[in-house]
């Protein structure tokens, strides 16, 4: 937030006693997040000397009014609770996404006005043999789950992917780009870049904004 990023992105899972916590991996400190109560998860993290994952409501409170929030749902059937903890009054400052088409569909069903996107690029998919085709040409999936945007892995940006999504009316937020050369190449092609190096991206974006007309570096996004 101190850097002035546009969004803070978090991954959300649920504990055995229905607490929503912000963590990417399904396990931490040797325990499965979904298999233990929140108090036990905190105890395990303390014993292992690692930070306990923060609860979604606390993260949302910290970000509210300061920075927009991007929430990736790692599991299904938590959509309504996610909306409650983020705060329905803050939905215009929050976007949601998931690799699971059904989760995106459920998000739009619970809150039709929310902005929800489909994540693409995981190594395994329930689409089986259609996985690669459904990721490179996801139009039918986006329509079916009512996704407002698409978030592909950078390796999917080929065969005119960004151009096709633009003409399909879906913004493209690419992940996870951590090197300057790729960031620079993508600035004019996508609508957003998800990165672990926000300082680097912001510096490149500032340089792009300051570049004179006709400069090689694309416009800021």
Parse the chain into domains and list their residue ranges. Answer: 118-213
pTM: 0.89
Q: Which residues, 6 or more positions from 177, have their beta carbon under 8 angstroms from its beta carbon?
A: 154, 183, 186, 193, 194, 195, 201
Place of tokens 């929140």: 38
| pLDDT exceeds cutoff 80 at 165 | yes
Q: According to the model, what pLDDT value does residue 159 have?
A: 85
Residue 191 has pLDDT above 90, yes or no: yes
**Size of the chain, expressed as the number of residues it contains:** 221
Which residues are CB-neighbours of 40 under 8 A, at least 6 positions away?
A: 31
CATH of domain 118-213: 3.20.20.190
| Rounded alpha-carbon distances, angstroms, from residue 196 to 144, 150, 176, 193 | 31, 19, 7, 10
Average pLDDT of 135-163? Answer: 94
Query: Mean pLDDT of all residues in the chain?
Result: 91
pLDDT at 212: 66
Average pLDDT over residues 135-146: 94
Of the candidates 136, 182, 194, the one whose C-alpha atom is nearest the C-alpha of residue 162 is: 136
Residue 130 has pLDDT above 70, yes or no: no
């Amino acid at each position: 937030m101190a850097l002035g990023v546009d969004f803070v992105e978090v991954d959300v899972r649920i504990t055995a006693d229905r607490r929503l916590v912000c963590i990417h991996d399904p396990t931490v400190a040797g325990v499965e997040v979904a298999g233990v109560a929140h108090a036990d998860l905190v105890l395990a993290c303390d014993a292992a000397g690692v930070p306990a994952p923060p609860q979604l409501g606390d993260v949302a409170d910290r970000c509210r009014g300061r920075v927009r929030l991007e929430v990736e749902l790692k599991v299904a059937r938590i959509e309504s609770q996610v909306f409650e903890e983020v705060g329905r009054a803050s939905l215009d400052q929050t976007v949601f996404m998931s690799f699971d088409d059904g989760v995106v569909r459920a998000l739009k069903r619970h809150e039709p006005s929310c902005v929800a996107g489909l994540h693409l690029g995981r190594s395994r998919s329930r689409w089986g043999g259609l996985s690669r085709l459904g990721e490179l040409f996801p139009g039918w999936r986006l329509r079916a789950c009512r996704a407002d945007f698409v978030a592909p892995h950078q390796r999917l940006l080929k065969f005119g992917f960004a151009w096709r999504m633009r003409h399909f009316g879906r913004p493209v937020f690419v992940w996870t780009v951590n090197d300057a050369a790729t960031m620079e190449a993508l600035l004019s092609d996508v609508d957003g870049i998800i990165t672990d190096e926000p300082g680097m991206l912001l510096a490149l974006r500032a340089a792009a904004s300051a570049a004179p007309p006709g400069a090689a570096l694309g416009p800021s996004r």
